[in-house]
Amino acid sequence: MADTGQGDGEMESPGGLSAIRNGNREMGKLGDGEIGRWGYRWGYCIGERIRTQSIMAGMRNTKQDYRKYAFLVDKAKELGAAGAKVIPASDIVVENRVPMKCRTGCIGYGKKLTCPPHVPAPDEFRKILSEYRYALLVKFISPARADPEVICSIYRYWLDPEAPADRKEQATQFWKDHFSGTGAFAPLMLELERAAFNAGNPFALAFVNGSCRLCETCNVKAGICLHPTQARIPEHAVGVNMVKTAEKAGMPIRFPVQGHPELMALLLID
């Protein structure tokens, strides 16, 4: 089919209508078999053009949305994040196996209302996530640091009373530095959530890295959070594989940990 030189609205333009009229006149000169073949080709070309226009319109809308949320990237960096990026919510990787690491490897499992099994399971979270289009991925750097030999067994050296004294000291210092140095990360995510909310995204919701530290002992027995406006769920608690998600977004994190741990957090926008 010849290019008429029209823009995206060609089928509604005088040129587009003229092409259809010319095509109809040409069909009058063809035999029945040729009409069928000509009509098929014509219909295919029109369908492909409509499909292309739809894809291009979608790409334009996506770029506009990314620009619309660029202020969140800037704000995250202003607040101290090492990096931030707006990604499609569909690029967030959710796996059923992730919360199993909470159950088998975390001393806080079941002890906080923001942790499993008190939070949405991966299957439920997938449904929630499907209602969002965009998310903000935020990277932080922990000030803590420990030797590779200590990092690889950080919990054991920290909690085991029979651990070698020098390594236990390193592990204890690591967690002290980590907890004191990352205490501002959760409030930072709340500030980003607030900014997104006030910009017209009423369902903006932050997920943080690491379990909640607002209370010394969580109100689990009563089942009611004492700080619902501040407490947020860690993304891994609902099944987010942050290693894969960060890599997919072009913001890979080093694992196993080398040097200072790189932490990721998530803000569902809209």
The 3-state secondary structure of the chain reads: CCCCCCCCCHHHCHHHHHHHHHHHHHHCCCCHHHHHHHHHHHHHHHHHHHHHHHHHHHHHHHHHHHHHCHHHHHHHHHCCCCEEEEEEHHHCCECCCHHHHHHHHCCCCCCCCCCCCCCCCHHHHHHHHCCCCEEEEEEEECCCCCCHHHHCCHHHHHHCCCCCHHHHHHHHHHHHHHHHHCCCHHHHHHHHHHHHHHCCCCCCEEEECCCCCCCCCCCCCCCCCCCCCCCCCEHHHHCECHHHHHHHCCCCCCCCCCCCCEEEEEEECC
Whether 7 has a pLDDT exceeding 50, the answer reads no
Question: What is the C-alpha separation between 221 and 185, in angstroms, rounded?
Answer: 27
Q: How many domains does the chain have?
A: 2
Q: What is the average pLDDT across 179-186?
A: 86
Q: How confident is the model at residue 47 (pLDDT cuts 50, 70, 90)?
A: low
Whether 39 has a pLDDT exceeding 70, the answer reads no
Residues 80 and 36 in one domain: no
Q: What is the average pLDDT across 57-64?
A: 61
Q: Does residue 96 form part of some domain?
A: yes
Whether 229 has a pLDDT exceeding 60, the answer reads yes
Tell me which residue range forms the domain holding 222.
69-142+182-268
pLDDT in tens, 79-89: 999 999 999 99
Residues 249 and 235 in one domain: yes
Nearest Cα to Cα of residue 227 among 216, 242, 235: 216
pLDDT of residue 205: 98
Q: Does residue 55 form part of some domain?
A: yes
CA 158, 163, 165 angle in degrees (round to 5)? 90
Distance set, CA 142 to CA 65, 175, 182 (Å): 31, 10, 6
Q: How confident is the model at residue 43 (pLDDT cuts 50, 70, 90)?
A: low
Residues 41 and 131 in one domain: no
Question: What is the C-alpha separation between 144 and 195, in angstroms, rounded?
Answer: 29
- Number of Cβ atoms within 10 Å of the Cβ of 183: 10
67: burial class by Cβ within 10 Å (0-12, 13-18, 19+)? exposed
Q: Does residue 81 form part of some domain?
A: yes
Q: Which of 22, 37, 63 is the last residue of a domain?
A: 63
Residues 48 and 138 in one domain: no
Residues 52 and 98 in one domain: no
Residues 86 and 108 in one domain: yes
pLDDT in tens, 127-167: 999 999 999 999 999 999 888 888 888 888 988 999 999 99
Q: Does residue 153 form part of some domain?
A: no
Residues 136 and 207 in one domain: yes
Residues 58 and 77 in one domain: no
Average pLDDT of the chain, as a whole number: 84
Q: Does residue 264 form part of some domain?
A: yes
> Which of 15 and 262 is assigned the larger pLDDT?
262
Q: Are residues 200 and 269 in contact, defined by beta-carbon separation less than 8 angstroms?
A: no
Q: Does residue 237 form part of some domain?
A: yes
Whether 3 has a pLDDT exceeding 50, the answer reads no
Q: Does residue 257 form part of some domain?
A: yes
Residues 220 and 134 in one domain: yes
pLDDT of residue 22: 55
Q: Which of 24, 45, 63 is the last residue of a domain?
A: 63
pLDDT of residue 6: 44
Residues 24 and 109 in one domain: no
Question: What is the C-alpha separation between 237 and 119, in angstroms, rounded?
Answer: 7
> Which of 50 and 167 is assigned the larger pLDDT?
167
pLDDT of residue 179: 86
Residues 18 and 40 in one domain: yes
